[in-house]
Amino acid sequence: MKLPSLFKWFKNFDQTEQRLHETSVHKGNASSLVTMHDITECEQYEQALRESEEKYKALVENSQDCIMIIRDNKLLFANHTYCQMLGYDYQELLNMSSIEPIVPEDRYKALQIAERRKNLDFTTIRDNIRLFTKNGEIRECECVAAVIEYDGIPASFMTLHNVTESNRMQEALARSERRFRELTEMLPQAVYELDVNNAPTFMNKTGRKMFQLGDMDFSKSKAYDFFSPEDTERMREALSVEAKNIKIEKGALLPDYSRARSYTAHRMDGKTFPVLIYGTPIDEDCMVTGSRGMISDITERVGMENELRESEEKYRTLVDNANDGIVLTQDGQVKLVNKAMCDILQFQHEDFKDRSFYDYVVPEDRGEMEEYHKRRMKGEQFNVLYRSHLIRKDGEIITVELNSRTLSYNNRPAAFIIIRDITERLAIENELKVAKSELEILNKNLESRVQESSQKLAETQLQLINLQKENIQSQFDVLRQQVNPHFLFNSLNVLTSLIKIEPDLAEQFSEHLSKVYRYVLENKDNELVDLNTELRFLDAYIFLLNIRFVDKIKVNINIPGEKLSAQLIPLAMQLLIENAIKHNIMTKCNPLVIDIFIDEKNYLNIINNLQERPSQVISTGIGLKNIENRYLLLNNTRPIFEKSETQFMAKVPLVLK
């Protein structure tokens, strides 16, 4: 019973072909009527059948799946969904082979189904099959082929479920997943997933490498096993907070978990390294199923940060400990100031807060500074070194040297000023200048003194040379004097005069003359002679003088006996007397008086009254110099020669035994 009614139902199904429908119904009715006895019952049944048919018809037409009936590769029936899926109208589909829309590679499947049905194999067959739409697109369908009796003959009843879209979506999903997977694997950060019990469920390659996990199965571990024990509690808390916070409604924004937490990670080999973890809960349909995140090894960054911090520390120390004051000003405001600067101006650090730097500059100097500031504001970059005057807290004005340069501070131009208090330096410089000029004067004095000394030295040397020369000369002179024709002639003259007039006197004269000459001969080579010997010679000499210059000369000798052993150079007294005679007028009225004695300083004094002759025949230049030189050579003592208005005084050094 069931089967024929189904046939009827299927026959009435087609709404597009009304004529066919009427025909089939009529035929169906006819066949039914043949077997029915109770008409009323039969009519009621028919009514029920019609209603049921209507119901199924609607179901078939409204089915999301394609439904068709095929026999011998000929489409007997197809619903609207099938027409829509392939883009053909119903008539077109009826006119073509049922194989035709199927892609060639899948046609054998359709043929196989047909073959099996011929061989009375009526099992339901499930398979995937692809069809071309009218405009050539491929539709993938899940196909279920059953067998029904259609018009009394078995036919294939097929439903096609279009899976093209879902396949595409699945593929896209797979691709997307692959993409993310690959990306995840490629990431330089470790990427992890934890389940709700904080057990790791996934770790990317970088992570495995970072923690040296290799192919280890870590699913039995807990997340904190891979971190320093000190971090466990903190991490547990963080993970639970992450989990708690996720009681959220669908579509609501997740709280911001991008804030990183830093932990110390443990590698399998025991080494530790600093990491940053960015974690977020895994939300599946408003349920937290775990958490996932990213771990960055920040060893390098920490190193760099440390370096940076150290470098910053270094610079800060430098700035703080700099001997020069350092000020950073922006818009005229003091932004930074170091200790030295505080010391220079005697202010405290906080005194500079929100103050203009100009407040510390004497008004006369502000102009220059403002000029630099303006240029700086115009974007000019420059360094400048100039002098200025600042006012200290105690009101004292100090001179400073400013080295100002432009730099960027908080992305805006600022003036970085190095300040050096040069007040002291200037004072020192001044002192130095004074000292220098003093030194120069001293130097000049010294130079002139050196010059003087060297001149003196040169003079002394010259003197010495002259002395040596003069010594030779004087020795020669003394020698010459022994046979000096001057003295001899004069003496001979006197003797000649005496011989006839005063023969006795002449005899005495010649005796004394011979004494004088003997003495000269005997002592010509001696440097020193006893005063006693010299005085005996002098007696003889004076005897000769008294005869030559009768009453015109008077020699007074007063030497105490105890001094007679003293020594002096030979012929000194004779020379001095001769000198006195040569230079002085000597008349009977005004005789030449010569006094010879020893003074308290043991100098032998030979003093004569001064009555100088106005002129004389040019002298040979022997005389006082001779005596002087002989003493200088002897023992570097000096005879003293003094001339006053009334007398000429010669003091000859005595050498005491």
Q: Which residues bind other proteins (CB under 8 A)?
A: 485-486, 489-490, 492-494, 496-498, 500-502, 547-550, 552, 585-588, 612-619
Least distance in angstroms from the C-beta of 612 to other proteins = 6
Phi, psi of 623 (to 5 degrees): 160, -125
| Centroid of chain to Cα 267 | 38
Residue 650 to residue 626: CA distance in whole angstroms = 13
CB burial readout 145-164, b (16+ within 10 A) else e: bebbebeeeebbbbbbebbb
For residue 277, count CB atoms less than 10 angstroms from its CB and return exposed for 0-12, middle for 13-18, buried for 19 or more.
buried
Give the residue with the Cβ less far from other proteins, 247 or 582. 582
* Strand spans (E) along 85-152: 125-132, 138-150
Burial of 445 (0-12, 13-18, 19+ CB in 10 A): exposed
CB of residue 471 vs other proteins: minimum separation in angstroms?
25
CA pair distance 472, 480, nearest whole angstrom: 12
| Tokens matching residue 487 | 């003295």
Minimum distance from CB of 496 to other proteins (Å)?
Answer: 4
Q: How far is the CB of 587 from other proteins (least distance, A)?
A: 5
Three-state secondary structure call for residue 86? helix
Between 132 and 549, CB nearer to other proteins: 549
Smaller CB separation from other proteins, 413 or 623: 623
State both tokens at 156: 């294939």
Q: Which is nearer to other proteins, 47 or 587 (CB)?
A: 587
Q: Determine the straight-line distance between the first and last CA of the chain, rounded to whole angstroms.
A: 188
Nearer to other proteins, 321 or 493 (CB): 493
Q: Which is nearer to other proteins, 86 or 506 (CB)?
A: 506
Of 376 and 552, which CB lies nearer to other proteins in the complex structure?
A: 552
For the bound state, the minimum distance from the C-beta of residue 509 to other proteins, rounded and expressed in Å, comes to 9
- Reading the block at residue 95, the tokens are 């006119």
> Residue 484 Cβ, how far from other proteins at the closest point, in Å?
9
Instruction: Please say whether the beta carbons of 86 and 133 come within 8 A.
Output: yes
Which lies closer to other proteins via its Cβ, residue 253 or residue 501? Answer: 501
d(CA 459, CA 457): 5
Residue nearer to other proteins on the CB measure, 287 or 492: 492
Got the DSSP string for 155-190?
EEEEEEEE-HHHHHHHHHHHHHHHHHHHHHHH-SSE
Tokens, residue 630 = 């002989």
How many Å apart are CA 589 and CA 607, to the nearest integer? 19
Task: State in angstroms the smallest separation of the CB of 591 from other proteins.
Answer: 10
Residue where the block lists tokens 């040979």: 620
Least distance in angstroms from the C-beta of 626 to other proteins: 18
Q: How far is the CB of 511 from other proteins (least distance, A)?
A: 17
